[in-house]
Amino acid sequence: MTYFKFIILTLIGFCSIHQLSGQKGYELGGWLGVSNYFGDLNTQLNISQVGLAGGLNARYNFNTRTSVKSSLSYARLRANDDFSSVGFERQRNLDFFSNTFDFTATGEFNFFEYVHGSKFDFWTPYLAAGFSAFRFNPKSKLNDVTYTLRDFGTEGQEVGEEYLRFGAGLTIGGGVKWDINRDLSINVEFTVRRLFTDYVDDVSTVYPDPAILAALRAPNGDIAQRLSRRALNPDILRTGTQRGNSRDNDTYTLLGISLMKYFGRIECPKLSQRSL
């Protein structure tokens, strides 16, 4: 037997073994759900300040156990110290909201064999892990006027040295997939974005000197001070007093339900369909 025929037979054997589990194909769909932020303005893992979330998904199945997925998502993140059970945080009196957009790529592992159209292998729990890149822009209202917090250097950043509006993070999560029919499936998924920035909420370090802040942000120095220093207790506002915790970056979670459409599969032909 020639080396070439040996390779062909080996591949045929491999395909035959995986004939029922060698499913490949694309899936496209969309999802809707909710988001939740955790960070300096939500240190107690409060889940009462959820926001709307949704997006588009694209998945490629390598086989019945492994796949990769990319997602474009929107999430409304928000938090308010009024909801905190910590006295200092309620006295700090800060809040924010942000329309956040992210691109996420994850690898997925199915716990069970998952075959579209199968009467038996039509559902599975799965794990997912990967990376996210996102854009955020924290804002807050003052006297019913909405301000972009980054533009006012609320922690004493000099003009041009503000934090970036773009960031990245690690994504982990999991969910459940199950078929409605051969072409359509429902996915329920929960993911956590652990970010590489602490400024999703515009809060990270300490209160700046108010005079320096006003000078840096002239002619809007008064607004900058009021956005930075909203505490109900004047003792909190002393220069250098902790405003946030820079040692712990921000996090947000997404919980959603998606409808996915499957676009065919490429399987290894049966042995009877091959000849050497």
Q: How large is the C-alpha radius of gyration of the chain?
A: 25
**Taking 60 as the threshold, does the pLDDT of residue 267 lie above it?**
no
Instruction: Tokens for 159, please give them.
Output: 């003009």
Question: How many whole angstroms separate alpha carbon 227 and alpha carbon 137?
Answer: 15
Greatest Cα-to-Cα distance within the chain, rounded to the nearest angstrom: 88
Using one digit for the tens of pLDDT, what is the confidence trace for 66-124?
A: 999 999 999 999 999 999 999 999 999 999 999 999 999 999 999 999 998 888 999 99
What percent of the chain is predicted at pLDDT more than 90?
Answer: 81
The residues, any chain, with a CB within 8 Å of residue 191's CB and separated by 6 or more, are: 104, 106, 128, 171, 172, 173, 174, 253, 254
Return the pLDDT at 172: 97
Q: 140, 160 in Cβ contact below 8 A?
A: no
Quick one: average pLDDT of 147-170?
Answer: 96
| Structural domains in the chain plus CATH codes | 25-267 (2.40.160.20)
Per the listing, tokens 């409605």 go with 180
Residue 47's SS3 state is coil
**Taking 50 as the threshold, does the pLDDT of residue 15 lie above it?**
no
Return the pLDDT at 17: 40
Phi, then psi, of 46 in degrees rounded to 5: -70, 130
Instruction: Tokens for 76, please give them.
Output: 């409304």
The pTM assigned to this predicted structure is: 0.86
Q: 117, 257 in Cβ contact below 8 A?
A: no
Q: 190, 127 in Cβ contact below 8 A?
A: no
Sign, Cα dihedral of 219, 223, 226, 229: negative
Q: 158, 115 in Cβ contact below 8 A?
A: no
Return the pLDDT at 21: 46
Band (pLDDT 50/70/90 cuts) for residue 52 is: very high
**Taking 90 as the threshold, does the pLDDT of residue 5 lie above it?**
no
Per the listing, tokens 């025929």 go with 5
Using one digit for the tens of pLDDT, what is the confidence trace for 196-228?
A: 999 999 999 999 999 999 999 999 999 999 999
